Amino acid sequence: MPKKSTRKKSSKCAADPVLLPLLPLRDIVIFPRMVVPLLVGRERSVRAVEAAIFSDDTILVAAQRSVEVENPEPDDVYRVGTEAKIIQILKIPDGSAKVLVEGVQRRRITRFLAQKDYFRVKTVPVGESQRVSARLRAVMRTVADLFQIYLQINPRVPEEIAPTIAEIDDPERLADTVCAHAVLKVAQKQELLELPRVEDRLARLVDMLSQENEILKIEREITGRVRDQVEKSQRTYYLHERLKAIEDELGREGPSGEYAELDKGIRAAKMPPEAEAKARAELEKLGRMQPMSPEATVSHNYIEWLVDLPWSKETADKTDVKRAERILNEDHHGLDEPKERVLEYLAVRRLAASLTGPILCLVGPPGVGKTSLGRSVARALGRKFARISLGGMRDEAEIRGHRRTYIGALPGRILQSLKRVGTRNPVFLLDEIDKLSSDFRGDPSSALLEVLDPEVNTAFNDHYIEVDFDLSKVLFIATANTPHTIHPTLLDRMEIIRLPGYTDWEKLAIASKFLIPKQLKAHGLARRKVEITNEALLRIIRDYTREAGVRNLEREINKILRKLAKKIATDGRRDGLKVGAADLKRYLGTPRYRRETAEKHAGPGVATGLAWTEAGGEILKIETSVMPGKGEVTLTGHLGEIMKESARAAVSYIRAHEKAFALPKGFHKAKDIHVHVPEGQTPKDGPSAGVPIMVSVLSALSNRPVRGDTAMTGEITLRGAVLPIGGLKEKSLAAHRSGIKRIVIPRENTRDLDEIPPRIKRACTFIPVETVDEVIAEVFEAS
């Protein structure tokens, strides 16, 4: 066998233990048949080489376990090494030597014999001869193929050896050659060296090479990509430089022009020092960025925002209270109390140099003029007007902005609005502050608190702008439909001004003095003789709208004017047009609301209550029907919990006093009671329906009808006392709207009668009561 003869030739004594000088190698594993030049520098190693030359020219080369060890002891070298023949030696004057060795055979060290200054080792050969089976051939072919690929993609191995590999058909030789040339770690190579069977070695090589190939492929992909990117950015850079040069040549302003513009902007903005420093630093950064790159755009936008904010721009206040009063009256009819309060507030703010007053909050049903009163305040003061709607806002970032690290980040709505108005002292309306909500994205009301708190709003921090902005010059005014859902800490900072809603006559005046002239102008009819009669207006107010404010009224007027405008355009008519009550059906269709005719006999079981919702006051028709049954009480019509409880309390009261009410004994066991509050679309709650519910149930049980012209409100206790209620003004407006003539109210509410419009007091009788008995005495029809 060729292998055997090879071994005979290369090693004199294959089977016997052989003593050899040891040459430890730091970071190389030498395989048989490999010719390697070594630079031998260490004193001990030079001695070992000399000893080898002196005896038989062979030496055992074995790798160190660690590169760092300077004078390796037996434990520091691997047990398996290669016997090598010294082919050539070249001594260098500094004492070291260049040695050319050729690997001969694997050998295992069995003993170390310490000499004076080197080691001699006792060794036995490693390796088993193996028959070349078909399987071995297959593995050989795989190794050869993998190694071809390896050579192609690994730039660190010379490709010249490729043809040689293909020709090798001795497995040992193939394994050794591949091991010698593959770029592997010392530990990996040592592992290969130590495997005695060639088939195992080749199999291991298959593993290692496929893994290496995989890694190399990925590496190549990555470098390819990186190179592409580098080339691309170099290209853009180059193109930009070219462009700059061309523009310079043409005398146009390039990116540097943009830089200069921002620079000018920063100077003109008169920012506080901190903000200016920030802007300058950012501009500096921008100068170093590649123009048109995404970062540069972000940076540019940021500087623009800083430049555009009104850091120091403000309008001069018109402090004349007389003038302010005139303007408020010009814009709005009535609203005497709110106007008065606003004027007082302005006067105080004018006198007190410190502007730390509470925030005004205008509270009232929709369409009563809260937003427009805010606008009017701005006009009265000669300030700009900004407005944001907080309704449904649930994200803190809407107030305070997003950090610049987010794509498309912007400042919050407060600073956006200030930028839009361009002054730092506008009247700023925070609309619908009661509709603010909060969830996991943070609580906007806490951010708002910071906006409104005069202690801290001198340094309002927006996440995007990052530097503090002084909001203390802004006059904040809030609006809400109800104070109940305003965040308590916010409410604490506010002074509530109520706008309760209008009577029909007030609406009439608002319509003829404000809404109609405004809409005539808007429809280009200002100079036509168009008239809507008062009778028609009242009819619209009563039969086409049902509201506390005037928004729908305005809408209906709009509708009429639109149709008139069209008519004039198509008919070419130039003369005046008059819209009377009889024409309304033509313009607006059939009336939407049927006025509850107060005098109508509704039969037993129906009582009129009064409710107070966000939309203002409302009348509630409460109906009860009684049928034979088992004593069940059913409540329907979208009632809230509190309302249900007061219904149950009312039934309990009646049961407890069945004798006094002349009801059959134990009636409740034989009857089912069903209480219903129609028009279930608006949710109703609150305890003030206690009185009307009780009256309605009693009326049904005793079969006595309730007076149709009488409405009632009040909470009742189980002992029959009538407790006070809120919103009397709104409720009486609603009662009056519905043609009610008598209103039963809790005695404690008589003090609220002062704020009821005189016109209503003249039209309605208010009947104060303290107990249920007094109620009963007033509300039933005389039998």
Which residues carry out catalysis?
688, 731
What does 687 interact with, of Mg ion, ligand ATP, none (CB < 5 to 8 A by kind)? Answer: none
Whole-number Å distance between alpha carbons of 623 and 646: 15
In this chain, which of 481, 545, 688, 713 binds ligand ATP, going by CB under 6 A? Answer: 481
In this chain, which of 44, 85, 333, 384 binds ligand ATP, going by CB under 6 A? Answer: 333
CB-based closest residue to ligand ATP: 369
What are 732's strand-pairing partners?
none
What does 514 interact with, of Mg ion, ligand ATP, none (CB < 5 to 8 A by kind)? Answer: ligand ATP
Q: Which of 328/471 has CB closer to ligand ATP? A: 328
Whole-number Å distance between alpha carbons of 536 and 587: 11
372 binds ligand ATP (CB under 6 A): yes
500 binds ligand ATP (CB under 6 A): no
Q: Which of 154/371 has CB closer to Mg ion? A: 371
In this chain, which of 46, 77, 342, 368 binds ligand ATP, going by CB under 6 A? Answer: 368
Whole-number Å distance between alpha carbons of 629 and 310: 73
371 binds Mg ion (CB under 5 A): yes
481 binds Mg ion (CB under 5 A): no
514 binds ligand ATP (CB under 6 A): yes
Selected range binding ligand ATP among 20-28, 170-178, 362-370, 648-656, rule: CB under 6 A: 362-370
Q: Which of 58/371 has CB closer to Mg ion? A: 371
Give the per-residue SS3 of 347-367. HHHHHCCCCCCCEEEEECCCC
Whole-number Å distance between alpha carbons of 129 and 131: 7
Q: Judge whether 495 and 358 are in contact, CB under 8 Å.
A: yes
Q: Which of 282/431 has CB closer to ligand ATP? A: 431
In this chain, which of 371, 503, 608, 613 binds ligand ATP, going by CB under 6 A? Answer: 371
Q: Is 469 exposed, middle or buried (0-12, 13-18, 19+ CB in 10 A)?
A: buried
What does 485 interact with, of ligand ATP, Mg ion, none (CB < 5 to 8 A by kind)? Answer: none
What does 369 interact with, of Mg ion, ligand ATP, none (CB < 5 to 8 A by kind)? Answer: ligand ATP
Per-residue tokens: 421: 């108005």
Which residue type sits at 11?
S
First to last CA, the chain: 137
Give SS3 for 116. Answer: coil
Selected range binding ligand ATP among 56-64, 160-168, 220-228, 327-335, rule: CB under 6 A: 327-335
- # chain residues binding Mg ion, by CB under 5 A: 1
Selected range binding Mg ion among 183-191, 363-371, 377-385, 634-642, rule: CB under 5 A: 363-371
In this chain, which of 18, 25, 335, 532 binds ligand ATP, going by CB under 6 A? Answer: 335
In this chain, which of 72, 127, 369, 637 binds ligand ATP, going by CB under 6 A? Answer: 369
Place of tokens 């059906």: 585
Residue among 433, 454, 436, 453 nearest 362 (CA):
433
What does 368 interact with, of ligand ATP, Mg ion, none (CB < 5 to 8 A by kind)? Answer: ligand ATP
Sign of CA dihedral 639, 640, 646, 651: positive
551 binds ligand ATP (CB under 6 A): yes
108 binds ligand ATP (CB under 6 A): no
Sign of CA dihedral 241, 247, 250, 252: negative
25 binds ligand ATP (CB under 6 A): no
- The alpha carbon of 631 is separated from its chain's Cα centroid by a whole number of angstroms, namely 53
510 binds ligand ATP (CB under 6 A): yes
Place of tokens 């107990």: 771
Whole-number Å distance between alpha carbons of 141 and 134: 11
Whole-number Å distance between alpha carbons of 197 and 132: 12
Q: Judge whether 380 and 327 are in contact, CB under 8 Å.
A: yes
Q: Within 10 A of 760 (CB to CB), how many other CB atoms are there?
A: 20
**Phi (first) and psi of residue 721, to 5 degrees:** -85, 150
696 binds ligand ATP (CB under 6 A): no
332 binds ligand ATP (CB under 6 A): yes
Nearest approach, Cβ of 432 to Mg ion (angstroms)? Answer: 7
Whole-number Å distance between alpha carbons of 611 and 618: 5
- # chain residues binding ligand ATP, by CB under 6 A: 20
Selected range binding ligand ATP among 247-255, 291-299, 329-337, 736-744, rule: CB under 6 A: 329-337
Contacts of 216 (CB under 8 A, 6+ apart): 150, 153, 154
Selected range binding ligand ATP among 10-18, 359-367, 483-491, 629-637, rule: CB under 6 A: 359-367
556 binds ligand ATP (CB under 6 A): no
Give SS3 for 443. Answer: coil
686 binds ligand ATP (CB under 6 A): no
Residues within the interface to ligand ATP (CB under 6 A): 332-335, 364, 366-372, 479, 481, 510, 514, 549-551, 554
* Interface contacts to Mg ion, rule CB under 5 A: 371
